[in-house]
């Protein structure tokens, strides 16, 4: 069942989504080699709680931490641990918050220091694809229009692997609601997009093939060929004419530019 939100509820969701963005910006300000992914998780949890919210992911279906932190070949759902971040790593941080009865959800991939040009191109292309999907999140379109826009650009135009096993989703009082929002599919297919629908659009894109597998921890998804993967996500409200993006990358990107560890590798 799809739960449509009122304008007042969407504003509450905006507050939650903006807090997720601020949390990711705080991570961007402090991220550096020598930190463990558990250190990053602790920064995010403290920031969320200091702002009167609760981490959405912590204890969700048994997940033990605030953030999903996925490094290099890890696609999503990486469990923060003692791994020490080093120069050249790709670190994807996925965060959710629960505030005022609603969830916000967003993800961002950071490059630590210098990374190869082909990796920067993957990062840039995934952001572009996210925006192409968002452009289709308008009243009267279908979920498949979002999916097709993302897949067509990434696979046909850029030659990357779009993950099939994991998808975006509806969002609201529950962290995961209907409908599912794949990053692949046919134009004109799937649920009709209506005013008041809020969704998480989140392309998960591999440098190599689209094939993935789960690690023994039961959570972490990695590329089968062990090439790197990138993940960006926005919380989006479907509207007439133009989608309303409730989360933002503006503050995150500004913090990247100000952090010398991240600034040299910001995708152009």
Where would I find the H helices in the chain?
A: 7-30, 37-50, 117-135, 143-151, 250-258, 260-263
User: How far, in whole angstroms, is CA 177 from its chain's centroid?
Assistant: 16
**Which pLDDT tens digit goes with each residue over 89-109?**
999 999 999 999 999 999 999
First-last CA distance in the chain: 40
∠ at Cα 163 (240, 138), nearest 5°?
Answer: 5
Residue 240, pLDDT > 80, answer yes
Residue 265, pLDDT > 70, answer no
Cα–Cα distance measured from residue 132 to residue 143, given in angstroms and rounded to the nearest whole number: 13
Average pLDDT over all residues of the chain: 97
- Whole-model pTM over 0.95: yes
- At residue 264 the predicted structure's pLDDT band, cuts being 50, 70 and 90, is low
Look-up: residue for tokens 């994807």?
A: 92
Cα–Cα distance measured from residue 79 to residue 99, given in angstroms and rounded to the nearest whole number: 23
Q: Are 240 and 195 in contact (CB under 8 A)?
A: yes
Residue 141, pLDDT > 50, answer yes
User: How far, in whole angstroms, is CA 145 from its chain's centroid?
Assistant: 19
- At residue 246 the predicted structure's pLDDT band, cuts being 50, 70 and 90, is very high
Cα–Cα distance measured from residue 104 to residue 145, given in angstroms and rounded to the nearest whole number: 23
∠ at Cα 185 (179, 186), nearest 5°?
Answer: 105
Cα–Cα distance measured from residue 55 to residue 65, given in angstroms and rounded to the nearest whole number: 9
Question: Shortest CA distance to 201 belongs to which of 265, 128, 111, 102?
Answer: 128
């Amino acid at each position: 069942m799809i739960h449509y939100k009122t304008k007042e509820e969407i504003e509450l969701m905006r507050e939650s989504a903006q807090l997720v963005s601020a949390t990711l910006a705080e991570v961007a300000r402090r991220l550096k080699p020598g930190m463990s992914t558990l250190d990053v998780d602790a920064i995010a949890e403290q920031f969320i709680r200091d702002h009167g919210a609760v981490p959405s992911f912590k204890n969700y279906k048994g997940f033990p931490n605030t953030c999903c932190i996925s490094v290099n070949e890890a696609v999503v759902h990486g469990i923060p641990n003692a791994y020490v971040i080093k120069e050249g790593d790709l670190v994807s941080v996925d965060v959710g918050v629960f505030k005022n009865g609603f969830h916000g959800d967003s993800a961002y991939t950071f490059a630590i220091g210098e990374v190869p040009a082909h990796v920067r191109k993957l990062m840039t292309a995934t952001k572009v694809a996210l925006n192409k999907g968002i452009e289709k999140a308008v009243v009267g379109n279908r979920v498949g229009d979002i999916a097709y826009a993302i897949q067509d650009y990434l696979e046909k135009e850029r030659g990357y692997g779009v993950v099939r096993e994991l998808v975006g989703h509806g969002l609201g009082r529950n962290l995961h609601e209907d409908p599912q929002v794949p990053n692949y599919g046919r134009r004109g297919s799937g649920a009709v997009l209506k005013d008041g629908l809020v969704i998480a659009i989140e392309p998960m894109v591999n440098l190599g093939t689209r094939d993935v597998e789960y690690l023994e921890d039961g959570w972490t998804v990695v590329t089968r060929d062990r090439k790197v993967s990138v993940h960006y996500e926005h919380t989006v409200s479907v509207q007439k004419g133009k989608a309303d993006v409730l989360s933002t990358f503006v503050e995150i990107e500004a913090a990247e530019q100000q952090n010398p560890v991240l600034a040299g590798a910001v995708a152009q």
